Chains A and B, each alone.
Chain A
Amino acid sequence: MTRYLAIFLTFARACLVRDMTFRANFILECVTSLGWMSMNLAFYLLVFTYTPEIGKGTGWSKEPFFAFVATGLIINSVVQAFFMPSAEELTEMVRTGGLDAVLVQPLDAQFLLSLHRVDFSSLANGCVGLGLLAWAVARMDHTPPPVAWLVYPLVVLCGIAILYGMVIMLAAATIHMGRNQSLYDFWFYLTNFSRYPAEIYAGPWGGPLRMLCTFVIPILLVVNVPARVIAQPFTGAAWGGVVAAVIAAIASLVVSRFVFLRALARYRSASS
């Protein structure tokens, strides 16, 4: 375990050295991802000039909603920083055969493939997310109780774990298909469902969709559970969500591990 930590730190250090070598590029990347984020925030601000709330009686008025958005930023920036770059590179590695070099090393392949590249610039969004969270929570009508602050980090980690499992499964699909340029697009579309409060999925179509995205692909639990804990009054009902998130996180890790190992066993290697 300490060996893996040491290796991960070596990876992280190497990536940091690399980022600092190309400082201008690093800063540009920070700026662009911040730009993307502020654009979305501007859109939400615009929407709130036309409505007091997202969904009638859901409690997602401006400040709680921004706490929701902040939670999403934090979770996504961690995933984007630590898991996505490696998964994206995997597509390329499968195509060019770089995966071969990984498979001959005496390390867990999943570890190596999902963590060998760290994109520090993606953490910029997370930092803004933390600031936004502080701003939104301070201006909310209610103050979160201490228990909410204790549970919040746990469910944020669960959200990250759920997404990590999904990244791994997508990576497994990449290995299986040999090439898949849509990986990143697919990721965008998938996580798109987690961007808004689950309450918006209502009605004859929304209901089943909400069920699907909660119990089958637990994407709705990723941001909603932690955001609810912090941005909505912390009642007994909140514990249900917390338990669901923990179970979903464990399931996501276990299933993705299984799928990944299967994909590796069927890997056919690029012909050279």
Chain B
Amino acid sequence: MSDAAAMPAKPFQGLRTWWTMLRICLEERLVYRGDFALGTLMRFLPIVTQVFLWTAVFAATSRSDIAGYSRNDIVAYYLLTMLTRAFSSMPGLATGIARSVRDGSVKKFLIQPVDYVGFLLAARVAHKLVYYAVAAIPFALVFFLCRGYFPPPPDAVTIAAFLLSLVLSFLLGFFMEAALGMLGFWFMEVSSIVFGYMLVQYLLSGHMFPIDLLRTVPTGVAGVSLADVVHWLPFEYTAYFSSAVWLGKVQGRDLVAALAIEAGWVVVMAVACRIAWWRGTRRYSAFGG
């Protein structure tokens, strides 16, 4: 990890620092477990509405499927999206970075021998681990109750691709939001930018509906639908993609290509994040905050 790079002299030292950071974050998160449990439980509420909405839609339409999704597929899709979002969503990351720049608390990372991005990553991993620990039970319960909506489990390769896509979606989500937060070095108020990002993200990540629904939306260029454009953007890899993989909507060469695009976006965002940090801190120290 980046911390190991920051402290090359003692390899285990870096690891230990990282572990301590992780532990402190875990403890900090556990203090707010009340909010945590409540939040996890409530996160499933919108799905309930979505299930009923789509059931009503399927009841009224004469089609047997919408963009290749049966009603059960749609329900399974929303549930899987919840799982993917549990990996890729980074609540408060961008605004947190921007705030630390604005109120000057980022200074301590300029002084202390700790890499800021590494620290944030550790904190986020900790946050996620605790979240999974608390959320596993409600997740398992919901998935078990809704097992009837799911198609039979896919083969091992697909499952492996699914897991890989989840890890990548975590990294992508992290670096994308972190890079966004680094804009705080240049703009006083990033909350509007973050909100705009969230809007686009919500629409294009597939959180709202399967991206396949956009196949019928033309872009003006012949033969290219909106779904094709979104395919090349990073957003759909934070929600739609993993769910589609599990449901077998993306297979074979397409799957490999999509994973490559996702990995490419992770690298791009990580580099963008680094560059933003370097230039940002240089600007910060030059202008004295």
For the complex, give the distance between the alpha carbons of A28 and B187 in Å: 14
| B193 nearest in chain A by CB position | A28
B63 at the interface (CB under 8 A from A): yes
| A39 nearest in chain B by CB position | B203
Can you list, as one digit per residue, whether each of B162-202 has a CB less than 8 Å from chain A (1) or not (0)?
Answer: 00000000000000000000000000010010011001001
Q: In the complex, identify which listed stretch (B37-45, B78-86, B134-142) lies at the interface while the others stay far away.
A: B37-45
Pick the contact of B38 from A25, A182, A200 — CB < 8 Å? A182
- Report the count of interface residues on A (CB-CB < 8 A): 39
- Shortest CB distance A226–B (Å): 19
CB distance A32 to B56 under 8 Å? no
Q: A46-B217, A52-B61, A180-B35 are in contact. Are A192 and B46 (CB under 8 A)?
A: yes
For the complex, give the distance between the alpha carbons of A209 and B45 in Å: 12
For the complex, give the distance between the alpha carbons of A196 and B63 in Å: 22
- Shortest CB distance A204–B (Å): 12
B216 contact set on A, CB distance < 8 A: 49
Total CB contacts across the A-B interface at under 8 A = 94
Q: In the complex, identify which listed stretch (B47-55, B109-117, B260-268, B270-278) lies at the interface while the others stay far away.
A: B47-55
Majority SS of interface residues in chain B? helix
B15 at the interface (CB under 8 A from A): no
Number of chain B interface residues as a range: 35 or more
- Shortest CB distance B48–A (Å): 8
B66 at the interface (CB under 8 A from A): yes
B256 at the interface (CB under 8 A from A): no
For the complex, give the distance between the alpha carbons of A100 and B31 in Å: 25
Can you list, as one digit per residue, whether each of A41-84 has a CB less than 8 Å from chain B (1) or not (0)?
Answer: 01100110111111110100000000000000000000000000
- Shortest CB distance A184–B (Å): 11
- Shortest CB distance B120–A (Å): 19
Can you list, as one digit per residue, whether each of A82-115 has a CB less than 8 Å from chain B (1) or not (0)?
Answer: 0000000000000000000000000000000000
A25 contact set on B, CB distance < 8 A: 189, 192
For the complex, give the distance between the alpha carbons of A177 and B203 in Å: 34
CB distance B199 to A32 under 8 Å? yes
CB distance B49 to A195 under 8 Å? yes
Pick the contact of A189 from B45, B59, B208 — CB < 8 Å? B45
Can you list, as one digit per residue, whether each of A169-194 has a CB less than 8 Å from chain B (1) or not (0)?
Answer: 00000000100111001100110110
B67 contact set on A, CB distance < 8 A: 50
Can you list, as one digit per residue, whether each of A14-45 has a CB less than 8 Å from chain B (1) or not (0)?
Answer: 00000000000100110010011001001100
A201 contact set on B, CB distance < 8 A: 52
B53 contact set on A, CB distance < 8 A: 54, 196, 200
- Shortest CB distance A51–B (Å): 4
Closest 6 CB pairs of A and B: A55-B56, A53-B60, A51-B61, A200-B56, A189-B45, A28-B192
Known pairs A50-B63, A189-B46. 7 more at Cβ < 8 A? Answer: A25-B189, A25-B192, A46-B214, A47-B209, A186-B42, A189-B45, A196-B56
